[in-house]
Amino acid sequence: MAKNILIVENDEKLVEVLREFFSAYGYNLKVLPQAYDIRPLVKEFKADLVLLDFLLPGVNGGELCLQIKRSEKLKNIPVIIYSAFPKVMLALGDYGCNAFISKPFNLEDLMLQIEACMKEPERNYLLP
């Protein structure tokens, strides 16, 4: 059965690349350019994993991750945050994401992180 990945990303070119890449692997995608309260979206889509850009209009990816991780019903869903400005994101605090990837990223590396997070969603893959 295909897994559902919810992506919050406002870069249309990156969204095109991600759609093509994930469809080749058989994933179901829902892509949003922004979100203010991600919890109903995660529930409605039945997301198996959430992929968030850190720098988004409105609410940043870290805050969206916190919404998921603070929800009793959603906290076990793996969340991966990525950013072209990793030092900014990492300096702002621990959002509870399962993994972090710096942009630009290699799609195969992203897939390895996704597969690892889905296999063991309770594990944190952040580098120390």
Q: Which pLDDT score, from 0 to 100, does residue 92 have? A: 62
Residue among 35, 96, 77 nearest 60 (CA): 35
Q: How far apart are CA 115 and CA 128, in angstroms?
A: 20
Q: Is residue 26 classed exposed, middle or buried when 0-12, 13-18 and 19+ CB atoms within 10 A define those classes?
A: exposed
What are the tens digits of pLDDT across the range 72-110?
999 999 999 998 887 766 666 678 899 888 888 999 999
Task: Give the CA distances from residue 85 to residues 34, 69, 77, 100, in Å, rounded to whole numbers and listed in that order.
Answer: 18, 22, 24, 11
Strand locations in the chain (E)? 4-8, 28-32, 49-53, 79-83, 99-102
Architecture of domain 4-119: 3-Layer(aba) Sandwich (3.40)
Model's pTM, two decimal places? 0.91
pLDDT value at residue 103: 87
